[in-house]
């Protein structure tokens, strides 16, 4: 009889328990500040760097360097995420921070969804992907690609000549594409495409030539559309592909490219992507604020609503018939539960 009750209890827990993610790991506190950041990557052209609008959570590593992100507000489908640490001070204006660049930073990119559990190695280096523990094989895809790119950089450095560069461009371009397809994950292929098509990359010209005859890129768009129809990555890739194909078609028709039309097309594509990103972030922010309010008591919710109406502490105390010290205590509890520091951050989180 007791065994039967245990099975019933486990079944109820599995049905009603809310899906949660858990990303944990270790950092060397002798090298890094104890702030660890979790970001969602909506724009695959911003994979590397530090962008404040992408950050969705921040935790402090404990005395041993252990950090842990948990919750249930991530997307239900796979997305690209970043965990990073740095030694840049946000308040020091002489050190660039949260503007896409920080000289002293380290990051790891991975694919995950709302139910995944990942444990990162102490080294916090992508070369150690074998030490990343996860039941989700997709999580390791980007880390494996970075490891392959390291091998590629070594091949390029053997002989620094134009002939060696040309040979390596052809070899590694195909090798990276084939490796991406072997992973059976369109987001991993998109990660490789981002690298190969980067205008700052020596392979960019090779990419444009390959785009003229290789059906791979249209096939990748089909795979993205099927696997991630609602993800911003898919629309962004479609816009970029259309833009590059438009440029190539115009060049084949006439060497004198009409840049006015190209710029107009890129302008429209940029607006479309930004609108999609804005709506996606607004939806995500709404979910976070809703989950945040559920943590508050009824009285704390009342006080939060009055805070959002720009009521002073004294006005709140008068309205709710409580002491000023009680109001301050509730406000401190609100800040702690929502992981915010002041009223402005509260307005940013809950007000449109």
pLDDT (tens digit per residue) in 80-99: 999 988 887 655 544 455 55
Spatial separation of the C-alpha atoms in residues 88 and 94, rounded to whole Å: 10
Query: Position of tokens 């495409």?
Result: 193
Residue 291, pLDDT score:
61
What pLDDT is recorded for position 305? 87
Residues 197, 308: Cα–Cα separation, whole Å: 45
SS3 call for 108: strand
CB atoms within 10 A of CB 79: 20
Per-residue pLDDT, 337: 82
Reduced to 3 states (helix: H, G, I; strand: E, B; else coil), residue 113 is coil
| Nearest partner of 185 among 235, 143, 240, 131, judged by Cα | 143
DSSP assignment of 213-261 = H-THHHHHHHHHHHH-TT-HHHHHHHHHHHHHHHHHHHHHH-SS--HHH
pTM of the predicted structure, to 2 decimals: 0.64
Question: What is the distance between the alpha carbons of residues 10 and 236, in angstroms, rounded to a whole number?
Answer: 43
pLDDT (tens digit per residue) in 178-223 = 999 999 999 999 999 999 999 888 888 889 999 999 999 999 999 9
227 φ, ψ (degrees, to nearest 5): -80, -35
The owner of tokens 């402090």 is: 60
**DSSP track, 291-352:** HHHHTS-HHHHHHHHHHHTT--HHHHHHHHT--HHHHHHHHHHHHHHHT--SHHHHHHHH--
Task: Compute the Cα dihedral for 239, 224, 276, 107 and give only its sign.
Answer: negative
Per-residue pLDDT for the chain (352 aa), expressed as one digit of tens each?
Answer: 455 555 454 444 444 445 689 999 888 888 888 899 999 999 999 888 778 888 999 999 999 889 999 998 898 899 999 998 888 765 554 445 555 567 778 888 999 999 999 888 655 554 443 456 667 778 889 888 988 888 887 777 766 677 777 777 888 899 999 999 999 999 999 999 999 999 888 888 889 999 999 999 999 999 999 999 999 999 999 999 999 988 888 776 665 445 566 677 777 877 877 777 666 656 656 555 556 677 788 888 888 889 888 889 999 898 888 898 898 898 888 888 888 888 888 887 776 5
Q: Domains in the chain, ordered, with CATH?
A: 19-135 (2.60.40.10), 145-282 (no CATH), 295-350 (1.10.10.10)
H or E element: which one contains 273?
Answer: helix 259-294
Task: Give the separation between CA 191 and CA 181, rounded to whole angstroms.
Answer: 11
Residue whose pair of structure tokens reads 């000023």 in the numeric block: 324
pLDDT at 129: 39
């Amino acid at each position: 009889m007791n065994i039967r009750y245990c099975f019933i209890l486990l079944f109820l827990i599995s049905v009603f328990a809310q899906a949660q993610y858990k990303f944990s790991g270790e950092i060397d506190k002798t090298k890094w500040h104890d702030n660890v950041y979790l970001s969602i990557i909506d724009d695959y052209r911003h994979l590397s760097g530090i962008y404040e609008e992408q950050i969705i959570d921040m935790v402090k590593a404990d005395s041993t360097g252990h950090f842990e992100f948990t919750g249930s507000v991530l997307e239900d489908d796979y997305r690209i995420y970043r965990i990073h640490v740095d030694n840049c001070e946000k308040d020091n204006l002489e050190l660039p921070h949260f503007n896409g660049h920080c000289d002293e930073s380290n990051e790891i990119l991975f694919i995950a969804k709302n139910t995944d559990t990942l444990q990162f190695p102490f080294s916090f280096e992508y070369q150690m992907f074998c030490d990343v523990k996860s039941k989700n094989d997709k999580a390791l895809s980007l880390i494996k690609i970075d490891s392959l790119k390291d091998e590629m950089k070594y091949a390029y450095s053997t002989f620094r000549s134009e002939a060696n560069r040309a040979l390596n461009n052809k070899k590694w371009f195909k090798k990276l594409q084939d490796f991406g397809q072997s992973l059976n994950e369109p987001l991993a292929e998109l990660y490789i495409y981002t690298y190969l098509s980067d205008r700052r990359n020596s392979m960019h010209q090779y990419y444009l030539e390959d785009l003229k005859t290789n059906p791979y890129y249209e096939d990748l768009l089909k795979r993205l559309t099927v696997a991630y129809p609602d993800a911003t990555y898919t629309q962004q890739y479609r816009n970029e592909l259309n833009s590059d194909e438009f440029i190539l078609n115009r060049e084949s028709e006439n060497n004198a490219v009409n840049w006015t039309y190209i710029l107009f097309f890129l302008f429209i594509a940029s607006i479309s992507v930004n609108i999609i990103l804005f709506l996606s972030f607004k939806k995500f922010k709404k979910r976070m604020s809703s989950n945040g309010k559920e943590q508050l008591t009824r009285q704390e919710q009342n006080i939060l609503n009055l805070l959002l109406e720009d009521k002073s502490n004294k006005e709140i105390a008068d309205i709710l018939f409580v002491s000023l010290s009680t109001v301050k205590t509730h406000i401190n509890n609100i800040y702690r539960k929502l992981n915010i520091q002041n009223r402005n951050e509260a307005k940013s989180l809950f007000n449109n």
